[in-house]
Amino acid sequence: MEAKKAATAGFDAVEAELREISHWMYANPELAFEERAASARLASFLTARGFAVAHPAYGLETSFAADVGTRGPRVVVCAEYDALPDVGHACGHNIIAAAACGAGAALAPLVDDLGIRLTVLGTPAEEAYGGKIDLIRAGAFRDAAAAMMVHPAPEDIVDPAFLAVAHLMVEFHGRESHASFAPQLGVNALDAAVQAYVNVSTLRQAIYPTDKIHGVITDGGSAPNVIPHHTAMSWYVRAASTTRLEELIGRVRACFEAAATATGCRVEVTTRGHGYTEMRNDPVMVDLYAANSEALGRPMGRGADRDPAQAGSTDMANVSQEVPTIHPMLDIDSAPAVNHQREFAAATIEPAGDRAIRDGALGMAWTIIDLARGDLWSRLGREAV
């Protein structure tokens, strides 16, 4: 208990600054791989707390790696800080970053006594490209014994499910013509895009509840009296496993190809960013975090009690395939607003959002203390849910 008291005191000393950082990030959102100001400020905070900070790190301009400790198992606490187009920090990455740095500040003076090495890892571009996958490939998690992060949400869930996902970019190529004078000479790429959308909508009747397909038209043409020669679409395809995802992608591609055939267009399908896997929650860390969170006054729900179809995706799931991992979701009293809504973004800087920084930071710090004090490292990774 003495170590947890010391960690709490360490967090208390920086809590006001972390709240200010979270609010500043809310007011200054940066998109994927453009998080220059946020990553610099977070790196500066950790440098001032005794971490050896590399910024940039692992070949990514807006990543950083902050290390403290010289011996023992290494734990990686992940900080996300990219925002969304139009709706800013509507996924609460400002809270994620502040909580990760708070856990780091709480533990930094204790690492030698605990016999651990600690890394706070800045992980850009979760929303769009999958920066953690670049970091995996660059070796950022190679010798890690455990990895963790927390995420704001409209409810408390210690072991949420996450779906595998692929991001498909679709382009239809036709031929322009005067829409009234000579429509017979055109090949309408917008018709292909509309037909593709209808095909996918029809497919949705015949898939599992955990299969998700959603898309938008990003280029629909330029003028109503010109038959569009080019249209573009952006699609996310999700499923409960990578195996099922590959099956589903094949069916979705058939929808695009059928639309091209029906309209006489040519179709191109490419992937954007990295594919994300399904999540594997480490049960030992799940139980430790749940107990610590309850001790902090935040009882956690369990993923088994939720509808498995109510799930998003994250590149932290890819980390969980490499390293024992947890990714608890913390309620910020946003309901009925949910992630990716403007109202959710606004909730991140309300008192409940600030409390999530504290509960998340200390929940992670206390869990790491339990792992070290109990020498539980060999139990990690045996089984995941």
**H or E stretch at 11:** helix 2-12
Cα-based angle 230, 234, 235 (whole degrees, multiple of 5) = 135
Beta strands in the chain (DSSP E): 52-54, 64-68, 74-79, 117-122, 144-148, 151-153, 164-173, 212-219, 230-239, 266-271, 325-326, 329-331
> How far is 107 from 102, CA to CA, in rounded Å?
9
> How many helices (H) does the chain have, and how many strands (E)?
12, 12
Band (309; pLDDT cuts 50, 70, 90): confident
Q: If you search the block for the tokens 């829409």, which residue do you land on?
A: 179
Residue 88 has pLDDT above 90, yes or no: yes
Distances from the Cα of 82 to the Cα of 92, 95, 303, 350, angstroms = 9, 11, 26, 20
Q: What are phi and psi of 34, to 5 degrees?
A: -120, 15
pLDDT digits (tens, 9 = 90+) for 167-226: 999 999 999 999 999 999 999 999 999 999 999 999 999 999 999 999 999 999 999 999
Average pLDDT of the segment spanning 363-369? 98
Question: What average pLDDT does this structure show over 257-276?
Answer: 97
Q: Are β-strands 325-326 and 144-148 bridged in parallel, bridged antiparallel, or unpaired?
A: parallel
Same topology for domains 2-162+276-379 and 164-271, yes or no?
no
Q: How much is the pTM?
A: 0.93
User: Hey, where are the domains in the chain?
Assistant: 2-162+276-379, 164-271
- % of the chain at pLDDT higher than 90: 96
Q: Convert 172-201 to b/e letters by CB count within 10 Å (16 or more is b).
A: bebebbebeeeeeebbbbbbbbbbbbebbe
Residue-level length of the chain = 385
pLDDT digits (tens, 9 = 90+) for 35-75: 999 999 999 999 999 999 999 999 999 999 999 999 999 99
273: left (phi over 0), alpha (psi -120 to 50) or beta: left
pLDDT mean across residues, the chain: 97
Is the pLDDT score of 240 beyond 70?
yes
Mean pLDDT of 257-277: 97
Which CATH number describes the domain made up of 2-162+276-379? Answer: 3.40.630.10
pLDDT in tens, 130-174: 999 999 999 999 999 999 999 999 999 999 999 999 999 999 999
- Residue 384 pLDDT class (50, 70, 90 cuts): low
Question: In CATH, what number does 164-271 get?
Answer: 3.30.70.360
pLDDT of 383 strictly over 80: no
pLDDT of 82 above 90: yes
Q: Residue 304's pLDDT is what?
A: 83
Scan for tokens 């979760």, then name that residue. 126
| pLDDT of amino acid 307 | 87
Quick one: pLDDT band at residue 303, thresholds 50, 70, 90?
Answer: confident
pLDDT of 385: 61
